[in-house]
C-alpha cells in the first residue's frame, strides 16, 4: 500500500521489482493518477490497483492484517500549527494502519521537512503498535536500496534539504 503516491514513480518501481505482489496506490489528485496510469500502460504493469480517494476511506474498508508493507513518502507536512490536524500521521490513522497491517509488516515513512520527521517519530513511536528498526544514523539518512528517488525527494535535494527515511515494523500481537 502506498498512501499519496504523487507521480507514481515509487509504486511503479516497487511493482516492477515485485511482480508477484499486488500493490494499492492511494492518490486523490488527478495529475498523479494520470502520470501513474501512463507508466502502467507504457511498461505493461499489471499488479497495481489505484484508489483515487482519501486513504482513510480505503483503510476503513480493508480487512484486518491484509497489508504487508505501507509507504507514506514525502507527505504534505502541513507546516502551519493550525494545519497540524491535517497531517496523515496521527494516532487515529496509526490505529487504522496497525489494524490493516500484518504482524511484522513494514511501515516506511520519508520526509524532507524535519519538524514533520520529528512529528512522525513522536507519534509512531508513541503509538505502541510499531517499533523503529533503525540501529544507527545511516538507517534514517540513506534511502533504502529498493526505493527509487521520487520527484519530491529530488526537489528537496536540489534545494539542499536533507531527507529522512524512517522504517517501522508492526509489532506482533498489538
Q: Distance between CA 59 and CA 159 in Å, rounded?
A: 34
Q: Distance between CA 95 and CA 137 in Å, rounded?
A: 27
Q: Which three cell numbers stand for residue 46?
A: 499489471
Q: Distance between CA 32 and CA 128 in Å, rounded?
A: 33
Burial class of residue 158 in the structure, from the number of CB atoms within 10 Å of its CB (0-12 exposed, 13-18 middle, 19+ buried): exposed
DSSP 136: S
Q: Between 9-17 and 30-43, two packed helices, what is the crossing angle to 10 degrees?
A: 30
Active site residue 76: yes
Catalytic residue among 38, 60, 64, 76: 76
8 A C-beta contact, residue 50 and residue 38: no
Provide the annotated active-site residues: 76
Amino acid at each position: 500500500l502506498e498512501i499519496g503516491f504523487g507521480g507514481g514513480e515509487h509504486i511503479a518501481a516497487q511493482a516492477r521489482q515485485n511482480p508477484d505482489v499486488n500493490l494499492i496506490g492511494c492518490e486523490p489528485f488527478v495529475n498523479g493518477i494520470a502520470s501513474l496510469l501512463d507508466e502502467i500502460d507504457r511498461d505493461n504493469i499489471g499488479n497495481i490497483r489505484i484508489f483515487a480517494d482519501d486513504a482513510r476511506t480505503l483503510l476503513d474498508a480493508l480487512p484486518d492484517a491484509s497489508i504487508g508493507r505501507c509507504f507514506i513518502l514525502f507527505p504534505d507536512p502541513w507546516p502551519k500549527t493550525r494545519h497540524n490536524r491535517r497531517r496523515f500521521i496521527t494516532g487515529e490513522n496509526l490505529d487504522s494502519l496497525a489494524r490493516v497491517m500484518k504482524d511484522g509488516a513494514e511501515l516506511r515513512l520519508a520526509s524532507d521537512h524535519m519538524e514533520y520527521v520529528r512529528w512522525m517519530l513522536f507519534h509512531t513511536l508513541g503509538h505502541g503498535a510499531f517499533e523503529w528498526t533503525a540501529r544507527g544514523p545511516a538507517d534514517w539518512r540513506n534511502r533504502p536500496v529498493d526505493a527509487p528517488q521520487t520527484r519530491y525527494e529530488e526537489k528537496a535535494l536540489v534545494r539542499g534539504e536533507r531527507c529522512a527515511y524512517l522504517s517501522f515494523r508492526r509489532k506482533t500481537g498489538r
